[in-house]
Amino acid sequence: MRQLTFALWLLLIPAFVVAQEASVMQQIKTEGIENSQVMDIAFHLTEKSGPRLMNSPGYYRAMDYSIDQLKAWGLDNVAKDEWGDFGKGWELKKFYIAMKSPWYKPVIAFPKAWTSGTNGLKTAAVILIDPEADSTALVNNYRGKLAGKILAMDKLIEYKLDDKADLVRYTKAELDSLGAIQLDKKEADTTGMAERRRKWIQSWRESRKKAEILGNLAKEEGAVAIISSSPRNHDGTVFVQQGGSHAMDAPENFLDIAMALEDYNMIVRLVRANEPVELELEVDSQFYTDQEKGYNVIGEIIGTDPKLKDEVVMIGGHLDSWQGSVGATDNASGSAVMMEAMRILKTLNIKPKRTVRIGLWGGEEQGIHGSRGYVSKTFANREDMKLKPAHEKFNVYFNFDNGTGRINGIYLQENEAARDIMNKWLSPFEDLGATTITIENTGGTDHLSFDGVGLPGFQFIQDEVEYNSRTHHSNMDSYDHLV
Protein backbone atom coordinates (compact mmCIF):
# COMPACT_ATOMS: atom_id res chain seq x y z
CA MET A 1 0.00 0.00 0.00
CA ARG A 2 2.86 2.30 0.89
CA GLN A 3 4.23 2.10 -2.63
CA LEU A 4 0.96 2.75 -4.40
CA THR A 5 0.38 5.79 -2.20
CA PHE A 6 3.90 6.86 -2.93
CA ALA A 7 3.39 6.54 -6.66
CA LEU A 8 0.30 8.61 -6.71
CA TRP A 9 1.80 11.64 -5.05
CA LEU A 10 3.91 11.85 -8.11
CA LEU A 11 0.94 11.51 -10.37
CA LEU A 12 -0.73 14.41 -8.72
CA ILE A 13 1.63 16.60 -10.62
CA PRO A 14 -1.32 17.71 -12.77
CA ALA A 15 -2.06 19.78 -9.70
CA PHE A 16 1.02 21.83 -10.44
CA VAL A 17 -0.78 23.28 -13.46
CA VAL A 18 -3.12 24.88 -10.95
CA ALA A 19 -0.92 25.73 -8.07
CA GLN A 20 2.70 25.24 -7.30
CA GLU A 21 2.23 26.48 -3.78
CA ALA A 22 3.79 24.29 -1.19
CA SER A 23 0.59 24.28 0.81
CA VAL A 24 -1.34 22.54 -1.96
CA MET A 25 1.40 19.95 -2.38
CA GLN A 26 1.29 19.39 1.35
CA GLN A 27 -2.48 18.96 1.36
CA ILE A 28 -2.20 16.41 -1.42
CA LYS A 29 0.47 14.44 0.41
CA THR A 30 -1.56 14.48 3.60
CA GLU A 31 -4.74 13.30 1.86
CA GLY A 32 -2.79 10.61 0.03
CA ILE A 33 -1.18 9.31 3.19
CA GLU A 34 -3.85 9.73 5.82
CA ASN A 35 -7.00 9.07 3.84
CA SER A 36 -5.73 6.86 1.05
CA GLN A 37 -8.43 4.88 -0.72
CA VAL A 38 -6.10 3.38 -3.29
CA MET A 39 -6.18 -0.15 -1.88
CA ASP A 40 -9.97 -0.05 -1.62
CA ILE A 41 -10.19 1.06 -5.24
CA ALA A 42 -7.79 -1.73 -6.19
CA PHE A 43 -9.93 -4.25 -4.28
CA HIS A 44 -13.00 -3.20 -6.26
CA LEU A 45 -11.16 -3.41 -9.57
CA THR A 46 -9.67 -6.82 -8.78
CA GLU A 47 -11.42 -9.18 -6.39
CA LYS A 48 -14.83 -7.52 -6.54
CA SER A 49 -14.82 -7.45 -10.36
CA GLY A 50 -12.90 -10.59 -11.29
CA PRO A 51 -10.59 -10.95 -14.31
CA ARG A 52 -11.11 -8.00 -16.66
CA LEU A 53 -10.52 -9.69 -20.00
CA MET A 54 -11.77 -7.27 -22.66
CA ASN A 55 -15.50 -7.50 -23.32
CA SER A 56 -16.00 -10.06 -20.57
CA PRO A 57 -18.39 -9.51 -17.65
CA GLY A 58 -15.47 -8.77 -15.29
CA TYR A 59 -14.37 -5.91 -17.51
CA TYR A 60 -17.86 -4.43 -17.49
CA ARG A 61 -18.16 -4.80 -13.71
CA ALA A 62 -14.92 -2.84 -13.28
CA MET A 63 -16.06 -0.29 -15.86
CA ASP A 64 -19.39 0.25 -14.09
CA TYR A 65 -17.65 0.55 -10.73
CA SER A 66 -15.14 3.11 -11.97
CA ILE A 67 -17.80 5.19 -13.72
CA ASP A 68 -19.94 5.21 -10.57
CA GLN A 69 -16.95 6.07 -8.44
CA LEU A 70 -15.63 8.89 -10.63
CA LYS A 71 -19.16 10.34 -10.75
CA ALA A 72 -19.55 10.00 -6.98
CA TRP A 73 -16.34 12.00 -6.51
CA GLY A 74 -17.83 14.75 -8.67
CA LEU A 75 -15.85 14.48 -11.89
CA ASP A 76 -17.30 16.01 -15.05
CA ASN A 77 -18.29 14.21 -18.25
CA VAL A 78 -17.75 10.73 -16.82
CA ALA A 79 -18.79 8.23 -19.45
CA LYS A 80 -18.08 4.97 -21.15
CA ASP A 81 -16.35 5.91 -24.32
CA GLU A 82 -16.71 3.79 -27.45
CA TRP A 83 -13.46 3.46 -29.33
CA GLY A 84 -14.40 1.14 -32.17
CA ASP A 85 -14.70 -2.57 -32.84
CA PHE A 86 -13.06 -5.07 -30.55
CA GLY A 87 -14.75 -8.46 -30.85
CA LYS A 88 -15.84 -11.24 -28.54
CA GLY A 89 -15.68 -11.45 -24.78
CA TRP A 90 -14.79 -14.74 -23.08
CA GLU A 91 -15.13 -16.10 -19.57
CA LEU A 92 -14.31 -19.31 -17.78
CA LYS A 93 -17.38 -20.93 -16.23
CA LYS A 94 -15.87 -24.22 -15.10
CA PHE A 95 -12.39 -25.67 -15.11
CA TYR A 96 -11.26 -29.01 -13.79
CA ILE A 97 -8.20 -31.00 -14.82
CA ALA A 98 -6.33 -33.90 -13.26
CA MET A 99 -4.22 -36.85 -14.26
CA LYS A 100 -6.43 -39.91 -13.79
CA SER A 101 -4.00 -42.67 -14.66
CA PRO A 102 -1.48 -44.16 -14.00
CA TRP A 103 -2.38 -42.52 -10.65
CA TYR A 104 -4.48 -39.57 -9.61
CA LYS A 105 -3.02 -36.07 -9.41
CA PRO A 106 -4.71 -32.67 -9.60
CA VAL A 107 -2.82 -30.59 -12.15
CA ILE A 108 -2.09 -26.84 -12.03
CA ALA A 109 -3.18 -25.22 -15.28
CA PHE A 110 -5.36 -22.53 -16.85
CA PRO A 111 -7.15 -22.42 -20.25
CA LYS A 112 -6.04 -19.85 -22.80
CA ALA A 113 -8.55 -17.09 -23.49
CA TRP A 114 -11.00 -17.39 -26.39
CA THR A 115 -10.67 -21.17 -26.58
CA SER A 116 -13.65 -23.49 -26.46
CA GLY A 117 -14.75 -26.01 -23.81
CA THR A 118 -14.96 -29.79 -23.57
CA ASN A 119 -18.74 -30.08 -23.59
CA GLY A 120 -18.86 -31.96 -20.29
CA LEU A 121 -16.48 -34.13 -18.31
CA LYS A 122 -14.04 -36.04 -20.52
CA THR A 123 -11.39 -38.65 -19.91
CA ALA A 124 -8.76 -38.77 -22.63
CA ALA A 125 -5.36 -40.31 -23.32
CA VAL A 126 -2.37 -38.10 -24.06
CA ILE A 127 -0.63 -38.32 -27.43
CA LEU A 128 2.79 -36.76 -27.93
CA ILE A 129 3.36 -34.62 -31.03
CA ASP A 130 6.78 -34.36 -32.66
CA PRO A 131 7.92 -30.79 -32.04
CA GLU A 132 10.11 -30.89 -35.15
CA ALA A 133 7.25 -31.72 -37.52
CA ASP A 134 6.51 -28.87 -39.92
CA SER A 135 2.98 -27.96 -40.94
CA THR A 136 2.82 -30.57 -43.71
CA ALA A 137 4.25 -33.32 -41.54
CA LEU A 138 1.80 -32.46 -38.76
CA VAL A 139 -1.15 -33.04 -41.03
CA ASN A 140 0.33 -36.11 -42.73
CA ASN A 141 1.55 -37.82 -39.59
CA TYR A 142 -1.30 -37.15 -37.21
CA ARG A 143 -4.42 -37.22 -39.37
CA GLY A 144 -6.64 -40.04 -38.17
CA LYS A 145 -4.87 -40.34 -34.84
CA LEU A 146 -6.23 -37.49 -32.74
CA ALA A 147 -9.88 -38.30 -32.10
CA GLY A 148 -10.61 -38.27 -28.36
CA LYS A 149 -6.99 -37.44 -27.53
CA ILE A 150 -5.17 -34.72 -25.60
CA LEU A 151 -2.18 -33.38 -27.53
CA ALA A 152 1.15 -32.42 -25.95
CA MET A 153 4.45 -31.57 -27.61
CA ASP A 154 7.05 -34.30 -27.09
CA LYS A 155 9.45 -31.88 -25.46
CA LEU A 156 10.49 -31.41 -21.84
CA ILE A 157 10.51 -27.86 -20.51
CA GLU A 158 13.73 -27.04 -18.69
CA TYR A 159 13.26 -26.15 -15.04
CA LYS A 160 15.79 -23.65 -13.78
CA LEU A 161 16.38 -23.30 -10.06
CA ASP A 162 15.32 -19.88 -8.78
CA ASP A 163 18.74 -18.46 -8.03
CA LYS A 164 17.48 -14.89 -7.92
CA ALA A 165 14.89 -13.30 -5.67
CA ASP A 166 11.49 -12.71 -7.29
CA LEU A 167 11.65 -9.20 -5.93
CA VAL A 168 13.61 -6.85 -8.19
CA ARG A 169 14.29 -3.17 -7.53
CA TYR A 170 16.53 -0.75 -9.39
CA THR A 171 19.92 -0.14 -7.85
CA LYS A 172 21.29 3.40 -7.71
CA ALA A 173 23.95 2.44 -10.25
CA GLU A 174 21.34 1.16 -12.68
CA LEU A 175 19.30 4.34 -12.36
CA ASP A 176 22.41 6.52 -12.74
CA SER A 177 23.33 4.65 -15.86
CA LEU A 178 19.79 5.04 -17.28
CA GLY A 179 19.90 8.75 -16.49
CA ALA A 180 23.30 9.22 -18.11
CA ILE A 181 22.33 8.00 -21.58
CA GLN A 182 22.59 10.84 -24.13
CA LEU A 183 20.48 10.94 -27.26
CA ASP A 184 23.26 11.99 -29.66
CA LYS A 185 25.62 9.43 -28.19
CA LYS A 186 23.22 6.50 -28.17
CA GLU A 187 25.08 3.68 -29.78
CA ALA A 188 24.08 2.50 -33.18
CA ASP A 189 22.65 -1.00 -33.22
CA THR A 190 26.00 -2.74 -33.30
CA THR A 191 24.77 -5.67 -31.26
CA GLY A 192 22.26 -6.71 -33.89
CA MET A 193 19.28 -6.12 -31.59
CA ALA A 194 17.01 -5.20 -34.50
CA GLU A 195 18.04 -8.32 -36.40
CA ARG A 196 17.45 -10.52 -33.36
CA ARG A 197 14.06 -8.94 -32.86
CA ARG A 198 13.16 -9.49 -36.50
CA LYS A 199 14.14 -13.15 -36.21
CA TRP A 200 12.22 -13.52 -32.98
CA ILE A 201 9.08 -12.10 -34.57
CA GLN A 202 9.52 -14.38 -37.58
CA SER A 203 9.95 -17.44 -35.39
CA TRP A 204 6.99 -16.38 -33.24
CA ARG A 205 4.82 -16.05 -36.36
CA GLU A 206 5.90 -19.47 -37.59
CA SER A 207 5.13 -21.09 -34.27
CA ARG A 208 1.73 -19.31 -34.16
CA LYS A 209 1.00 -20.60 -37.64
CA LYS A 210 1.95 -24.14 -36.66
CA ALA A 211 -0.14 -23.89 -33.51
CA GLU A 212 -3.09 -22.79 -35.63
CA ILE A 213 -2.67 -25.69 -38.03
CA LEU A 214 -2.42 -28.13 -35.12
CA GLY A 215 -5.46 -26.55 -33.45
CA ASN A 216 -7.49 -26.83 -36.63
CA LEU A 217 -6.44 -30.42 -37.18
CA ALA A 218 -7.28 -31.28 -33.57
CA LYS A 219 -10.69 -29.67 -33.97
CA GLU A 220 -11.42 -31.44 -37.26
CA GLU A 221 -10.41 -34.78 -35.84
CA GLY A 222 -12.40 -34.41 -32.64
CA ALA A 223 -9.50 -34.20 -30.19
CA VAL A 224 -10.27 -33.08 -26.62
CA ALA A 225 -7.57 -30.49 -25.88
CA ILE A 226 -4.02 -29.31 -26.40
CA ILE A 227 -1.80 -28.79 -23.35
CA SER A 228 1.29 -26.60 -23.40
CA SER A 229 3.86 -25.17 -21.02
CA SER A 230 6.90 -22.88 -20.79
CA PRO A 231 9.95 -22.37 -18.56
CA ARG A 232 8.23 -19.54 -16.65
CA ASN A 233 5.43 -21.86 -15.48
CA HIS A 234 6.94 -23.19 -12.29
CA ASP A 235 6.17 -23.42 -8.55
CA GLY A 236 2.44 -23.30 -9.37
CA THR A 237 2.66 -20.02 -11.27
CA VAL A 238 1.20 -20.28 -14.78
CA PHE A 239 1.48 -17.57 -17.42
CA VAL A 240 -1.52 -17.60 -19.72
CA GLN A 241 -2.87 -15.34 -22.48
CA GLN A 242 -4.99 -15.95 -25.56
CA GLY A 243 -5.33 -19.14 -27.59
CA GLY A 244 -6.25 -17.39 -30.84
CA SER A 245 -8.32 -14.61 -32.33
CA HIS A 246 -11.09 -12.75 -30.50
CA ALA A 247 -12.47 -11.25 -33.72
CA MET A 248 -16.25 -11.42 -33.97
CA ASP A 249 -16.08 -13.47 -37.18
CA ALA A 250 -13.26 -15.79 -36.07
CA PRO A 251 -14.26 -19.39 -35.33
CA GLU A 252 -13.92 -20.61 -31.74
CA ASN A 253 -10.30 -21.51 -31.08
CA PHE A 254 -9.56 -25.09 -30.12
CA LEU A 255 -9.09 -25.69 -26.40
CA ASP A 256 -5.48 -24.99 -25.37
CA ILE A 257 -4.50 -25.24 -21.71
CA ALA A 258 -1.37 -23.65 -20.22
CA MET A 259 0.13 -25.96 -17.60
CA ALA A 260 2.71 -25.83 -14.82
CA LEU A 261 5.92 -27.33 -16.20
CA GLU A 262 6.20 -29.79 -13.30
CA ASP A 263 2.90 -31.40 -14.30
CA TYR A 264 3.53 -31.05 -18.03
CA ASN A 265 6.93 -32.70 -17.87
CA MET A 266 5.55 -35.48 -15.68
CA ILE A 267 2.96 -36.28 -18.33
CA VAL A 268 5.54 -36.22 -21.15
CA ARG A 269 7.95 -38.44 -19.20
CA LEU A 270 5.24 -40.98 -18.32
CA VAL A 271 4.01 -41.23 -21.93
CA ARG A 272 7.62 -41.63 -23.11
CA ALA A 273 7.99 -44.44 -20.57
CA ASN A 274 4.97 -46.15 -22.21
CA GLU A 275 2.62 -45.48 -19.34
CA PRO A 276 -0.92 -44.99 -20.63
CA VAL A 277 -1.53 -41.46 -19.31
CA GLU A 278 -5.15 -40.35 -19.09
CA LEU A 279 -6.34 -36.93 -18.04
CA GLU A 280 -9.78 -36.14 -16.77
CA LEU A 281 -10.99 -32.64 -17.57
CA GLU A 282 -13.97 -30.37 -17.88
CA VAL A 283 -13.83 -26.91 -19.38
CA ASP A 284 -16.85 -24.71 -19.81
CA SER A 285 -16.08 -21.33 -21.31
CA GLN A 286 -18.53 -18.74 -22.51
CA PHE A 287 -18.06 -16.46 -25.50
CA TYR A 288 -19.85 -13.10 -25.44
CA THR A 289 -20.89 -11.95 -28.89
CA ASP A 290 -23.61 -9.43 -28.06
CA GLN A 291 -21.19 -6.55 -27.95
CA GLU A 292 -18.59 -6.03 -30.66
CA LYS A 293 -17.63 -2.48 -29.68
CA GLY A 294 -14.94 -1.67 -27.15
CA TYR A 295 -15.25 0.95 -24.43
CA ASN A 296 -12.86 3.01 -22.31
CA VAL A 297 -13.82 5.07 -19.29
CA ILE A 298 -13.22 8.81 -19.55
CA GLY A 299 -13.79 11.52 -16.94
CA GLU A 300 -12.41 14.96 -16.26
CA ILE A 301 -12.17 17.99 -14.05
CA ILE A 302 -12.94 20.92 -16.31
CA GLY A 303 -10.44 23.75 -16.04
CA THR A 304 -11.57 27.00 -14.40
CA ASP A 305 -9.68 29.44 -16.59
CA PRO A 306 -11.82 30.28 -19.64
CA LYS A 307 -8.70 30.81 -21.75
CA LEU A 308 -6.96 27.62 -20.60
CA LYS A 309 -9.75 25.13 -20.00
CA ASP A 310 -9.55 23.75 -23.56
CA GLU A 311 -6.02 22.68 -22.78
CA VAL A 312 -5.84 19.11 -21.49
CA VAL A 313 -3.51 17.33 -19.14
CA MET A 314 -4.29 13.65 -19.19
CA ILE A 315 -3.49 10.67 -16.97
CA GLY A 316 -4.42 7.06 -17.43
CA GLY A 317 -3.81 3.35 -17.29
CA HIS A 318 -5.53 0.33 -18.74
CA LEU A 319 -8.52 -1.23 -17.07
CA ASP A 320 -8.50 -4.57 -18.85
CA SER A 321 -6.43 -7.61 -17.83
CA TRP A 322 -5.74 -11.21 -18.77
CA GLN A 323 -7.85 -14.04 -17.42
CA GLY A 324 -5.52 -16.08 -15.15
CA SER A 325 -6.11 -13.92 -12.11
CA VAL A 326 -7.46 -10.44 -11.39
CA GLY A 327 -4.80 -8.31 -13.11
CA ALA A 328 -3.71 -6.65 -9.88
CA THR A 329 -0.29 -5.43 -11.03
CA ASP A 330 -1.35 -5.40 -14.70
CA ASN A 331 -3.00 -3.04 -14.37
CA ALA A 332 -5.45 -2.50 -11.53
CA SER A 333 -2.50 -0.81 -9.81
CA GLY A 334 -2.25 1.84 -12.54
CA SER A 335 -6.00 2.39 -12.80
CA ALA A 336 -6.36 2.62 -9.01
CA VAL A 337 -3.48 5.11 -8.68
CA MET A 338 -4.94 7.31 -11.43
CA MET A 339 -8.44 7.14 -9.96
CA GLU A 340 -7.08 7.99 -6.53
CA ALA A 341 -5.26 10.99 -8.02
CA MET A 342 -8.57 12.31 -9.36
CA ARG A 343 -10.29 11.59 -6.04
CA ILE A 344 -7.72 13.62 -4.14
CA LEU A 345 -8.06 16.59 -6.49
CA LYS A 346 -11.83 16.57 -6.01
CA THR A 347 -11.69 15.88 -2.29
CA LEU A 348 -9.36 18.83 -1.74
CA ASN A 349 -11.51 20.90 -4.08
CA ILE A 350 -8.49 21.86 -6.12
CA LYS A 351 -9.64 23.83 -9.16
CA PRO A 352 -7.16 23.42 -12.02
CA LYS A 353 -7.02 26.16 -14.67
CA ARG A 354 -6.58 23.57 -17.41
CA THR A 355 -8.75 20.49 -17.79
CA VAL A 356 -7.41 17.34 -16.11
CA ARG A 357 -8.74 14.18 -17.73
CA ILE A 358 -8.46 10.49 -16.85
CA GLY A 359 -8.58 7.63 -19.35
CA LEU A 360 -9.06 4.03 -18.23
CA TRP A 361 -8.36 2.04 -21.35
CA GLY A 362 -9.85 -1.15 -22.70
CA GLY A 363 -8.24 -3.74 -24.96
CA GLU A 364 -4.67 -2.79 -24.04
CA GLU A 365 -3.61 -6.41 -23.73
CA GLN A 366 -4.61 -7.26 -27.28
CA GLY A 367 -2.73 -4.28 -28.79
CA ILE A 368 -3.40 -0.98 -26.94
CA HIS A 369 -6.71 -0.79 -28.82
CA GLY A 370 -8.62 1.44 -26.40
CA SER A 371 -6.13 4.29 -26.15
CA ARG A 372 -5.38 4.10 -29.90
CA GLY A 373 -9.07 4.36 -30.72
CA TYR A 374 -9.50 7.26 -28.33
CA VAL A 375 -6.47 9.13 -29.65
CA SER A 376 -7.50 8.46 -33.25
CA LYS A 377 -10.97 9.90 -32.90
CA THR A 378 -9.97 12.72 -30.54
CA PHE A 379 -6.55 14.00 -31.61
CA ALA A 380 -5.32 12.53 -34.87
CA ASN A 381 -6.04 9.59 -37.10
CA ARG A 382 -2.98 7.33 -37.26
CA GLU A 383 -3.70 6.32 -40.85
CA ASP A 384 -3.63 9.72 -42.52
CA MET A 385 -2.12 11.68 -39.63
CA LYS A 386 -4.77 14.34 -40.07
CA LEU A 387 -4.72 16.41 -36.88
CA LYS A 388 -7.93 17.38 -35.14
CA PRO A 389 -8.37 20.70 -33.31
CA ALA A 390 -7.88 19.08 -29.90
CA HIS A 391 -4.38 18.03 -30.95
CA GLU A 392 -2.83 21.44 -30.51
CA LYS A 393 -4.57 22.03 -27.19
CA PHE A 394 -3.18 18.81 -25.72
CA ASN A 395 -0.48 19.28 -23.11
CA VAL A 396 0.71 15.88 -21.97
CA TYR A 397 -0.30 12.30 -21.13
CA PHE A 398 1.10 10.31 -18.23
CA ASN A 399 0.59 6.54 -18.22
CA PHE A 400 0.90 4.11 -15.32
CA ASP A 401 1.34 0.46 -16.31
CA ASN A 402 4.36 -1.33 -14.99
CA GLY A 403 3.17 -3.14 -11.94
CA THR A 404 3.32 -2.19 -8.33
CA GLY A 405 6.87 -0.85 -7.91
CA ARG A 406 8.15 2.50 -6.73
CA ILE A 407 8.45 5.32 -9.26
CA ASN A 408 12.10 6.23 -9.73
CA GLY A 409 11.63 8.78 -12.47
CA ILE A 410 10.45 8.95 -16.05
CA TYR A 411 11.28 7.92 -19.62
CA LEU A 412 11.61 10.87 -22.04
CA GLN A 413 10.86 8.73 -25.11
CA GLU A 414 13.85 10.38 -26.81
CA ASN A 415 12.24 13.78 -26.31
CA GLU A 416 15.25 15.75 -25.07
CA ALA A 417 13.25 18.99 -25.10
CA ALA A 418 11.13 17.65 -22.26
CA ARG A 419 14.10 17.12 -19.92
CA ASP A 420 14.06 20.55 -18.30
CA ILE A 421 10.33 20.52 -17.77
CA MET A 422 10.48 17.05 -16.22
CA ASN A 423 13.34 18.11 -14.03
CA LYS A 424 11.36 20.96 -12.51
CA TRP A 425 8.26 18.85 -12.39
CA LEU A 426 9.89 16.01 -10.49
CA SER A 427 11.81 18.25 -8.09
CA PRO A 428 9.17 18.22 -5.30
CA PHE A 429 9.43 14.42 -5.31
CA GLU A 430 13.17 14.12 -4.90
CA ASP A 431 12.72 12.95 -1.32
CA LEU A 432 10.59 10.08 -2.61
CA GLY A 433 13.32 8.89 -4.93
CA ALA A 434 11.77 10.01 -8.21
CA THR A 435 14.94 11.56 -9.53
CA THR A 436 15.92 9.72 -12.69
CA ILE A 437 15.14 11.14 -16.11
CA THR A 438 16.22 8.98 -19.00
CA ILE A 439 16.17 9.77 -22.69
CA GLU A 440 15.30 6.10 -23.33
CA ASN A 441 12.08 4.78 -24.78
CA THR A 442 9.84 2.36 -23.00
CA GLY A 443 7.18 0.53 -24.93
CA GLY A 444 4.32 -1.87 -24.72
CA THR A 445 1.54 0.26 -23.33
CA ASP A 446 -0.86 3.13 -23.83
CA HIS A 447 1.47 6.16 -23.87
CA LEU A 448 2.56 4.87 -27.30
CA SER A 449 -0.87 5.75 -28.69
CA PHE A 450 -0.18 9.41 -27.89
CA ASP A 451 3.49 9.27 -28.85
CA GLY A 452 2.49 7.75 -32.19
CA VAL A 453 0.59 10.87 -33.30
CA GLY A 454 3.15 13.36 -32.02
CA LEU A 455 1.62 14.00 -28.61
CA PRO A 456 3.82 13.92 -25.53
CA GLY A 457 3.04 10.64 -23.79
CA PHE A 458 5.17 9.30 -20.97
CA GLN A 459 5.62 6.27 -18.75
CA PHE A 460 7.38 6.17 -15.38
CA ILE A 461 10.48 4.22 -14.43
CA GLN A 462 9.12 1.74 -11.90
CA ASP A 463 10.77 -0.96 -9.87
CA GLU A 464 9.83 -4.33 -11.30
CA VAL A 465 9.08 -5.90 -7.94
CA GLU A 466 7.71 -9.34 -9.05
CA TYR A 467 6.38 -8.20 -12.42
CA ASN A 468 8.51 -10.39 -14.64
CA SER A 469 9.14 -13.17 -12.19
CA ARG A 470 5.59 -13.85 -11.02
CA THR A 471 2.68 -11.59 -11.76
CA HIS A 472 2.78 -10.27 -15.34
CA HIS A 473 0.07 -12.16 -17.29
CA SER A 474 0.03 -15.02 -14.80
CA ASN A 475 -2.41 -16.75 -12.44
CA MET A 476 -0.56 -14.95 -9.62
CA ASP A 477 -1.46 -11.40 -10.62
CA SER A 478 -3.55 -11.22 -7.49
CA TYR A 479 -4.40 -8.60 -4.89
CA ASP A 480 -1.85 -9.86 -2.34
CA HIS A 481 0.96 -9.24 -4.82
CA LEU A 482 0.23 -5.51 -4.74
CA VAL A 483 2.72 -3.59 -2.65
Q: Which residues bind its own copies (CB under 8 A)?
A: 43, 47-51, 57-58, 61, 91-96, 98, 102-106, 108, 110, 159, 161-167, 234-238, 260-263, 265-266, 269-270, 273, 275, 280, 325-326, 465-466, 469-470, 475-476, 478-481, 483
CB of 68 to its own copies, least distance (A): 16
Q: Which of residues 161 and 193 has its CB atom nearest to its own copies in the complex?
A: 161
Q: Identify the burial level of 439 via C-beta atoms within 10 angstroms of its C-beta, where 0-12 means exposed, 13-18 middle and 19 or more buried.
A: buried
CB of 257 to its own copies, least distance (A): 11
Q: Which of residues 95 and 288 has its CB atom nearest to its own copies in the complex?
A: 95
CB of 293 to its own copies, least distance (A): 23
Q: Which of residues 154 and 280 has its CB atom nearest to its own copies in the complex?
A: 280
Q: Which of residues 261 and 315 has its CB atom nearest to its own copies in the complex?
A: 261
Residues 336 and 4: beta-carbon distance below 8 Å: yes
Upstream peptide bond of 331 is cis (omega within 30 degrees of 0): yes
Pairing status of strand 436-438 against strand 122-129:
unpaired
Question: SS3 breakdown of the chain: % helix, strand, coil, rounded to 5?
Answer: 35, 25, 40
Q: Which of residues 95 and 425 has its CB atom nearest to its own copies in the complex?
A: 95
- Cα–Cα distance for residue pair 151/128, rounded to 1 Å: 6
CB of 311 to its own copies, least distance (A): 40
CB of 13 to its own copies, least distance (A): 27
Q: What is the DSSP letter of 251?
A: P
Pairing status of strand 122-129 against strand 278-288:
antiparallel
Q: Which of residues 98 and 181 has its CB atom nearest to its own copies in the complex?
A: 98
CB of 123 to its own copies, least distance (A): 12
Q: Which of residues 275 and 305 has its CB atom nearest to its own copies in the complex?
A: 275
CB of 91 to its own copies, least distance (A): 7
Which residues lie below 8 Å from residue 106, measured CB to CB, with a gap of 6+? 97, 98
Residue 126: strand, helix, or coil:
strand
Q: Which of residues 129 and 465 has its CB atom nearest to its own copies in the complex?
A: 465
DSSP bridge pairs for 299: 358
Apex 71 CA angle, 65 and 77, nearest 5: 115
Residues 114 and 337: beta-carbon distance below 8 Å: no
- Cα–Cα distance for residue pair 256/298, rounded to 1 Å: 35
Question: Phi and psi (nearest 5°) for 21?
Answer: -65, 140
CB of 256 to its own copies, least distance (A): 16
- Cα–Cα distance for residue pair 264/153, rounded to 1 Å: 10
Residues 356 and 345: beta-carbon distance below 8 Å: yes
